[in-house]
Amino acid sequence: MIDRVKKYLKEVQSFSSTDLKEIESFRINYAGKKGILNDLFLVFREIPINEKKEFGKELNKLKDAVNDKVKHLQSQSKMSSVNIKIDDPSRTAFSLETGNRHPLSIVKNRIIDIFTQIGFSISEGPEIEDDWHNFTALNLPKHHPARDMQDTFFIQTNPDILLRTHTSSVQVRHMENNQPPIRTISPGRVFRNEAISSRSHCIFHQIEGLYIAKDVSFADLKQTLKYFTEALFGNSKIRLRPSYFPFTEPSAEVDIYWGLDTETDYRITKGTGWLEIMGCGMVDPNVLKNCDIDPQEYSGFAFGMGIERITMLLYQVSDIRLFFENDIRFLKQFKSTI
């Protein structure tokens, strides 16, 4: 079996073409849904455990070789097609490269669109925050252990000033300045002192949601989330798992049912079919009090999600760092409808 993989590797390495159509059929043959790679990954699942290591290594080598080859040939072929004789005065001008809306902006705008259609306003707050708005008012007093859930960048000369770790700080600012009924979403950039890897980055983006009025219940929260996931993913099969956030009680994490149809589904859902997309809950009465809203009169729900995470799911992007490199070849693959 392993010899077959090695034979494919040789074939891939020796393949060459400048014809885009030929390159595409090469790509489909190896990396398409029903392609050789997917077949081999299925075989991988079945082989005895002691052979998995070596087989997996060769298989990954083959996968990388296919991707590299396709990228290389595609860019070569594009370069040769713009190789027009420069001294020909009748040639048409080269077209100017235009930019492209960033995938994170595309998804942010879609989410904003979905919520503004049901009456949510948009609110924003500062990225450099104080301790009160980022933590204390959100029911996270000094030395509360849950502060460790988010590794914080502090401003060295003043421990009271920090880079906000979440957009929940905007909830507080909005409630301080507005009376219920409140329906708002707050998109923005947040910062955490974390190592950069394919799954995490120290700068990322969130959207926070807040709804405060009379008699708001958990059922309202659930219905709003169902509407949202249906509109964004075309799939409203969600589940709420009990969780903990200091600013909500009760709190939950929202999973969307992704399915287990393909090898990729299996990998990204760790074999469960479910994917976590956000945190949410009923706003804790302490948070309302901290913002001068009477919890006897009003109740509400809040939720918060990472835009990178949602974008990675929607477009099957496997490395968060791609969003920050701004390689135009990556960005050009995303088309905006809004």
For ligand DAH, the binding residues (CB under 6 A) are: 166, 168, 208, 245, 248, 279-281, 302-304
**Closer residue to ligand DAH, CB minimum distance, 69 or 164:** 164
Residue 321 phi/psi, 5-degree rounding, is -65, -25
Helical residues (DSSP H) of the chain, grouped into ranges: 2-14, 20-31, 36-46, 49-81, 103-116, 131-134, 168-177, 218-233, 263-268, 285-290, 307-315, 322-325, 328-331
Contact 315, 334 (CB under 8 A): yes
**Closer residue to ligand DAH, CB minimum distance, 103 or 304:** 304
Task: Kindly state the smallest distance separating residue 305's Cβ from ligand DAH, in Å.
Answer: 7
Whether a cis peptide bond, with omega within 30° of 0, leads into 187 is no
Task: Kindly state the smallest distance separating residue 304's Cβ from ligand DAH, in Å.
Answer: 3
Task: Kindly state the smallest distance separating residue 128's Cβ from ligand DAH, in Å.
Answer: 17
Helical residues (DSSP H) of 82-215, grouped into ranges: 103-116, 131-134, 168-177
Task: Kindly state the smallest distance separating residue 150's Cβ from ligand DAH, in Å.
Answer: 6
Task: Kindly state the smallest distance separating residue 111's Cβ from ligand DAH, in Å.
Answer: 14
Q: Is 172 helix (H, G, I), strand (E, B) or coil?
A: helix
